């Protein structure tokens, strides 16, 4: 359940941000990785989306990420997600499938 919650949040963030296909994901990945301003905006956009999620979703995501549910789960999640995308630690397929690489990135390992 925890992994499904984190994947669901991740996919909804990317769909809402316009990253709907692998080619656009790869293009956006290059832009985010090369521009600190775009990266900050991507984190902020992600945060604006994730802060609307239910408390139960946030608790499940916090548990999967190994952080306290009382911490700023939304910002930690978004920072880890965008950092992993920018550094190419995760691919579109990793994100879509919840691969081990994606889980490691969300757990900051």
Give me the residue spans of the domains in the chain: 2-106
pLDDT at 81: 92
pLDDT at 49: 85
DSSP the chain: -HHHHHHHHHHHHHHHHT--SHHHHHHHHHHHHH-HHHHHHHHHHHHHHHTTS-HHHHHHHHHHHT--TTS-HHHHHHHHHHHHHHTTSS-HHHHHHT-HHHHHHHTT-
**Mean pLDDT per 10-residue segment, the chain (109 residues):** 58 54 83 91 89 88 92 94 94 86 92
Global confidence as pTM: 0.81
């Amino acid at each position: 359940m925890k992994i499904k919650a984190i994947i669901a949040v991740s996919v909804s963030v990317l769909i809402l941000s316009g990253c709907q296909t692998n080619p656009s994901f790869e293009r956006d990945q290059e832009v985010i990785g090369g521009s600190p301003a775009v990266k900050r905006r991507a984190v902020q956009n992600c945060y604006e989306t994730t802060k609307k999620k239910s408390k139960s979703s946030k608790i499940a995501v916090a548990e999967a990420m190994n952080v306290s549910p009382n911490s700023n789960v939304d910002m930690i999640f978004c920072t880890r997600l965008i950092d992993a995308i920018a550094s190419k630690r995760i691919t579109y397929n990793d994100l879509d499938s919840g691969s081990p690489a994606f889980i490691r990135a969300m757990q900051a390992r």
